[in-house]
Amino acid sequence: MRKLFSSTTAFVAGLVLVAVVGALLILPSNDYIFLPDVAHPVAPLVNVPGGHDPKVGGIYYVDILLRKAKLYERLFGGFHEGADLYPASAINPPGGGEAERQQIDIEDMQNSQQVAAAVALRAAGKTVRTTPIGAKVDEVFTHTPAVGKLEIDDVITAVDGEPIRSRADVFTAMAKHRPGDTVDFAIRRAGVSKVVSIRTIKDPSSARAIVGVQLEDAVDIHLPIDVTINAGDVGGPSAGLAFALDILQELGHNIVRGHKIAATGEILQNGAVGQIGGIKQKTIGAREAHVDAFLVPAGDNAREARRYAHGLKIIAVENFPQALHALATLR
């Protein structure tokens, strides 16, 4: 009887152990995990009328694999080279969840494609027209009245009924208010217009009335030729530099000269290259693709990339002309 009881106990304990291990392997945690993804060629995604892909070499973009971490990854550190874990609050927008983040990533990618095309076409000597349309929300600061009211990529088109053409117009309109006033913002979000009312607070560093957002100018870009980019489910703005380089290459400018070049960085309308996230994973992805060089934003991104380069040539750039010069002088 004792032997039978011992066998039954061991069997039950085994089932419990299997269930626990299975749960650790399958169930997601509340954290997110960043993983490297090998760099991919840009040319198959870009279509320039009359353009030609390079026969040797080319431009590569780097992305990261972002998903909910499994319980075992959360508890034991991931078991993946280059893995990093982040709480949901560091990944999703303030006041929003995963769906809102994915929508923001899609809109950022679409905007980066337009800006990349504009920068490349200007570098090729073509005329690109822009029309100011408002002020775009670039960041919503936590613990401010804007949380839950405004979202990243919202375009402010009016304040208290007065039309807004740029972020400077917003500053002018806000200067008329004191902390505690309620301000009406007309916004366009994902093609839908609405008005949100927000009670202002005092700026900790001044007496200005603020709601807690960072803004940039919003413009409509009118391209002289129809450049299309099909990036699939790749989101975010970090492929902008790679897109701009490939478009210029396809316009007939031999900028790669037979090299395999990976590039990352947000491309801005003035040609500046902005900082991006996930540079550790992207450096590993570029390294695994065996590219000849990796162009990254100068500053913190470049310093971080060199830590994980392991022999990969890292080229820090501040703007698009600097990137072109670096490629022209690459041996």
Top-confidence residue, 184 or 31: 184
Choosing from 163, 197, 221, the residue where a domain stops is 221
**Judgement on whether residues 202 and 261 belong to the same structural domain of the protein:** no
Let me know if residue 60 belongs to a domain: yes
- Give the whole-angstrom CA distance, residue 33 versus residue 69: 5
**Judgement on whether residues 268 and 158 belong to the same structural domain of the protein:** no
Domain CATH code at residue 204: 2.30.42.10
**pLDDT bracket for residue 139 (50, 70, 90):** very high
**Judgement on whether residues 279 and 202 belong to the same structural domain of the protein:** no
pLDDT for the residue numbered 3: 56
Mean pLDDT of 249-262: 94
**Judgement on whether residues 118 and 229 belong to the same structural domain of the protein:** yes
**Judgement on whether residues 121 and 243 belong to the same structural domain of the protein:** yes
pLDDT for the residue numbered 109: 84
pLDDT for the residue numbered 239: 93
**pLDDT bracket for residue 38 (50, 70, 90):** very high
pLDDT for the residue numbered 20: 47
Mean pLDDT of 45-64: 90
Mean pLDDT of 75-91: 78
**Judgement on whether residues 234 and 285 belong to the same structural domain of the protein:** yes
The alpha-helical segments, DSSP class H, found in the chain are 2-26, 71-76, 88-91, 98-123, 167-174, 240-250, 279-288, 300-307, 320-328
> 136: which residues sit within 8 A by CB, 6+ positions away?
153, 154, 155, 156, 215, 216, 217, 218
Highest mean pLDDT among 46-50, 187-191, 313-317: 313-317
Choosing from 165, 200, 221, the residue where a domain stops is 221
**Judgement on whether residues 285 and 139 belong to the same structural domain of the protein:** no
**Judgement on whether residues 229 and 192 belong to the same structural domain of the protein:** no
Let me know if residue 66 belongs to a domain: yes
**Judgement on whether residues 314 and 299 belong to the same structural domain of the protein:** yes
DSSP 116-147: HHHHHHHHTT---EEEEEEEEEEEE-TTSTTT
Let me know if residue 256 belongs to a domain: yes
**Judgement on whether residues 266 and 190 belong to the same structural domain of the protein:** no
Range of the domain at 38: 28-86+104-128+225-328
Top-confidence residue, 188 or 89: 188
Whether the Cβ atoms of residue 150 and residue 213 lie closer than 8 Å to each other? yes
Let me know if residue 144 belongs to a domain: yes
């693709």: which residue's tokens? 289
**Judgement on whether residues 124 and 229 belong to the same structural domain of the protein:** yes
Please state the domain count of the chain: 2
- pLDDT (tens digit, 9 = 90+) per residue, 163-179? 999 999 999 999 999 99
How long is the chain?
331
Let me know if residue 119 belongs to a domain: yes
pLDDT for the residue numbered 197: 98
**Judgement on whether residues 112 and 204 belong to the same structural domain of the protein:** no
Structure tokens given for 200: 């202002």
Mean pLDDT of 216-230: 92
Structure tokens given for 293: 């060089």
Name the least confident of 20-34, 86-100, 259-273.
20-34
Let me know if residue 20 belongs to a domain: no
Let me know if residue 96 belongs to a domain: no
Q: What is the mean pLDDT of the chain?
A: 88
Choosing from 188, 221, 254, the residue where a domain stops is 221
Top-confidence residue, 23 or 114: 114
pLDDT for the residue numbered 217: 92
pLDDT at 4 over 70: no
pLDDT for the residue numbered 253: 92
Name the least confident of 79-83, 275-279, 286-290.
79-83
Tell me if residue 45 falls in helix, strand or coil: helix
Domain CATH code at residue 240: 3.30.230.10
Highest mean pLDDT among 65-69, 87-91, 291-295: 291-295
Let me know if residue 143 belongs to a domain: yes
Top-confidence residue, 82 or 312: 312
Structure tokens given for 296: 């990254």
